[in-house]
Amino acid sequence: MVEQGGHLSEKARHDYELVRAALDGDENAFARLLGRYKDAIFFMLLKMVNNKSDAEDLTLEAFGKAFKNLHQYSPNYAFSTWLFKIASNNCIDFLRKRKGSTVTLETTIENNDTELPSKLRSKDPNPEEKLIRKQKAILMRRVVRKLKPRYQTLVEYRYFRELSYEEIARELKLPLGTVKAQLFRAREMLFKLIETTEMGERE
């Protein structure tokens, strides 16, 4: 169960309230968290991969992984610290697969809140955790369903099934360039949907 730590900054406490709302089924709460950190995550990843398309892809992957594992977040440290750790670890895995070599994270993450422990919790989910993950996936798909059908399929394959561009191209019998171009467009539309959600929340 998530309990709030009293040592967090005001910004981190607000993030925590959004996390609690997201865990209670408020899809807009997670969209607001994404809106708050997507630019910072993107620019951190851009420094690591030096490729805009890859950085955008990895940004959505990071938020997808965070969303699926939101029930594991502990307010003993700031949500932003937890999120940046997920994003950086996912990027390191991406670079290892691409280069086939060990990658050292040299990017410095500036955060004035409590530091994240060196390793994120890793354990087999119990039935309750599996149910929570399923609920979170359902909420995330509600946002994706606002896209056109062809983009929904691409996002499903890329971010839920975690297929490579090449595997998606084979599965859908599409040119590799088309898959990359349409996924790029899908990412743009998802970010716009998130921004629209944020604006609606402020009104």
Give the pTM. 0.59
- Is residue 137 included in any domain, yes or no? no
How many domains does the structure of the chain reveal?
2
- Number of helices (H), then strands (E), in the chain: 8, 0
Q: Is residue 100 part of a domain?
A: yes
pLDDT tens figures, 48-61: 999 888 888 888 88
If asked whether residues 124 and 46 sit together in one domain, one would say yes
Are 117 and 191 found together in one domain?
no
74: nearest Cα among 139, 3, 138: 3
| Cα–Cα dist 4/8, whole Å | 9
Is 134 among the domain residues? no
Could you tell me if residue 179 is inside a domain? yes
Domain span at residue 198 reads: 145-203
Q: Is residue 6 located within the same domain as residue 61?
A: yes
Question: For 149-180, what is each residue's pLDDT tens digit?
Answer: 888 888 888 877 778 888 999 999 989 888 88
Q: What is the CATH number of the domain that holds 192?
A: 1.10.10.10
Between residues 58 and 203, the one the model is more confident about: 58
Q: Do 150 and 124 fall into the same domain?
A: no
Under a CB-based contact definition with an 8 Å cutoff, are residues 192 and 181 in contact?
A: no
Cα distances (angstroms) measured from residue 53 to each of 39, 46, 50, 71, 183? 14, 9, 9, 29, 10
122 has pLDDT over 50? no
The one-letter code for the residue type at 136 is: K
